[in-house]
Amino acid sequence: MSGKSVSSSLQRNASFAIACVLASLLGGCASVHNLPLNTPTSSPMPGFIRPAGAAEAIPARRISGDTVVGLAFSGGGTRAAAFAYGVLDRMAKYQIPREGPLLDHIGLVSGVSGGAIMAAYYGLKGPAALHDFRARYLTQDLMAQLDTSFSLGNIARAVGGGVNTDNKMRDWFNTNLFHGATFADLAGRRPVALINATDIYNRTPFLFSPQTFAAACSDFAQYPLAAAVAASAAVPGAFAPVVIEAYPDQCQTPLPGWVTAAAANPHASPLLQAYARGLTDIRSGRVKYVKLFDGGLIDNYGLSGITIIRAGQRTPYGPLSPEEAINMRRMMFLVVDAGQGPKGNWSSTLEGPAGRELVGAVVDVLVDANARTSYTAFEETMKAWRESIVKWRCGLKASEVAQLRGRSGPWNCRDLKFTIARVSFDQLGAERARVLNAVPTSFTLPADTIDTLTQAGGDALDANAAFQGFIRDM
């Protein structure tokens, strides 16, 4: 290593350190925060879930036929949104014999950060979202609405809480995509759209769901969809945390029994116990303001929320309806992963990482490790769910089966197959994956890059062996 390269590295690191020290001194004068948008209510959850004691944590959406598809869109800014869009666009070309378009069988879309933008818009508009998502979001310049300059003032604001409040991004989402839609506009729609953020105090996923808002005695129906997506994409430092205020004195709606049980059970899974304790802290008033950041911090795949929702069911089939569970023969769950591989060249030099590269490397380690853990937990959840549905189905009387199926005739209670597959860059070959991994995590990308990512999403779906096996099996 030359003396010149060492000197240059030291100068860069020294400049970064000096800027951070100065920013720390100024941070107390540069406080940035968001105001909570949620409102109190004495009767949370009407129209979204059944009264206390009911099983479903989210509203049941009926899917006709015997095929159910679930999708989870990873974080990764517009890179992730474009890749997810490409998967959906290619999926639109597939038909199920005698049952119609495959898109009509999507029961759930879960999203994190950039993936949450696609998930929320698809949840709101269904297949019609594919007609204008590219024009309304993918090729637009969201970054132009935000303060992204690297300056001492912005470093100070980042240290003080965040450079940007959420209002500019929220307003932009409303103007271009959601037009003032709230979660009331998602009620009764299929697929269910699950938006995930990170509760940084409890270090758990924050689910934009009726039961979460019920813990805060807050009106979930009127919460803006754009605000939830902004929370899911609120990168620490670039944004101040999105705030949800708790109103524990405003309602008497009891927490679901599984929440209080899991919070008190030392043998519950760590994820479920931490989430349940977070809800009890909100309801008790110990947590007055829930602070939310990018959902990718806790789970960049958006799978933990689904694991939690399934764990909270009191029936062997929830959140599916009994009619869906009795008729289902195949479920495919696709994890659409637009995460980046390792980056930077410091692994080939003696020094580094340092400065911003060090911060980025540490964050990448945490994000990737959490995502892998969530995937493993999700696999176990799906395995147990399939077994519980089979046990329930095989225990039904013939008359109950006929009533739920809406017809009689041959039926095999054990004929149920769950498939989980991950669709990612690395399934397209090393060179193509290298190009795609080089696309930055940004909210604005060139139109040709958008098209490259969209094409990659479709090609990765076609190349996925598990998905093609699922199609053949149908």
Cβ atoms of 457 and 90 closer than 8 Å: yes
What tokens were used for 137? 């979001």
Displacement of CA 249 from its chain's centroid (Å): 30
Burial bucket for residue 426 (CB in 10 Å: 0-12, 13-18, 19+): middle
List the one residue out of 382, 194, 198, 209 whose CA is nearest residue 274.
198
**Buried b / exposed e along 224-255 (16+ C-beta atoms within 10 A):** bbbbbbbbbbbbbbbbbbbbbbbbbebbebeb
341 three-class SS: coil
β-pair type (330-337, 67-73): parallel
**CA 28 to CA 47: how far, in whole Å?**
44
> What DSSP line would sit under 103-119, residue for residue?
GGGEEEEEEETHHHHHH
**Number of neighbouring beta carbons within 10 Å of residue 387:** 13
Question: Position of tokens 């995502």?
Answer: 371
β-pair type (242-245, 204-207): unpaired
**Buried b / exposed e along 165-185 (16+ C-beta atoms within 10 A):** bbeebbebbbebbbeebbbee
Dihedral (Cα; 77, 78, 80, 84), 10-degree rounding = 150
List the one residue out of 116, 63, 100, 35 whose CA is nearest residue 328.
63
What tokens were used for 37? 């948008």
- The DSSP 8-state label assigned to residue 184 in this structure reads G
Residues 6 or more apart from 128 whose CB is under 8 A from it? Answer: none
Tell me, yes or no, if 113 is annotated catalytic. yes
Catalytic residue among 74, 113, 321, 424: 113
Tell me the one-letter amino acid at 169.
M
Tell me, yes or no, if 294 is annotated catalytic. yes
**CA 287 to CA 245: how far, in whole Å?**
9
Cβ atoms of 90 and 289 closer than 8 Å: no
β-pair type (289-294, 242-245): antiparallel
Catalytic residue among 66, 89, 199, 294: 294
Residues serving a catalytic function are 113, 294
